[in-house]
Amino acid sequence: MKIKNLENPKDFLSTRQSARHLQVSLGTVQKMVETGELLAWKTQGGHRRILMSSLEQLLKRRRLGIRQRCGEQFLLLAVLRRSDSFEAFKSFTSPWKSEVDLHLCADTLEALMQSVSLAPDVIYLDAGISPVEQVHLLHYLSRNTHTKNIPILVESAFLKIHPQVLKSSSDAQGDIKLKPGRKPSHNPMIRSYQQEHLIAEDGTVNLKFSEKMENLILDCMAKKCERT
């Protein structure tokens, strides 16, 4: 189909741009158009234009597939402020549909050692951990060869107060100076969450927060799978 006037250039992409977004070859994009996986048309000059919404739907379906494959089971290391909250956290994860291999600790030094030895899929940091301990733990986890690619869930209020922990390991090195005009890159492995009570006042699990946390972990797992 040929279109004379394209009203909004933001609504479409070239074949080359689509290949870059999907991380595939130009030939693969052309096959996707021919099989109907991507919706496209040709300009008067004969150039293909891929409908942006079609590409976004394909990426969404791909991510959902990765999320389903990677989220069936995972090892979660939860670093909590006190050991007496272990049972509450276990109850908090009980409604999850995924199979969880849960490891708990209430000491940041132990958390660092377990992170190296267990190689968890995701690390959860309780908002109640002292800011100093969180800063030091994130510092080591983000720079250790064995842990720097593990997603870490950190409370959003803490990240607002200590944004320096979001810097990538290369930018955060003290002896490296950024070039003029270059902004520091953020560590994609650190993800934020908004703290809520794990257990409601009536003693039941906060199901809404539990579901949010499981979805966040599954999203982390999917992105981790995409990177590997």
pLDDT tens, 176-194? 343 444 444 467 889 999 9
Q: 103 with 121, same domain?
A: yes
The span from the first CA to the last CA of the chain, in angstroms, equals 38
CB-count burial class (<10 Å; 0-12, 13-18, 19+) for 148: middle
Round to whole Å and give the CA distance between 92 and 25.
44
Residue with tokens 């005009």: 181
Count of domains observed in the chain: 2
Residue 106 in domain: yes
- The pair of three-digit structure tokens given for residue 1, joined into one six-digit string: 């189909």
The domain spanning residue 13 has which CATH number? 1.10.1660
Q: 131 with 194, same domain?
A: yes
Q: 132 with 210, same domain?
A: yes
What phi and psi values does residue 75 have, to the nearest 5 degrees?
-100, 120
What's the DSSP call for residue 184?
Answer: P
Round to whole Å and give the CA distance between 164 and 174.
12
Q: 88 with 44, same domain?
A: no
Round to whole Å and give the CA distance between 198 and 207.
8
pLDDT per residue as tens digits for the range 101-138: 999 999 999 999 999 989 999 999 999 999 999 999 99
The domain of 153 spans: 71-227
pLDDT per residue as tens digits for the range 25-83: 888 888 888 888 888 888 877 788 888 888 888 777 766 665 556 656 789 999 999 99
| Whole-number pLDDT of residue 71 | 55
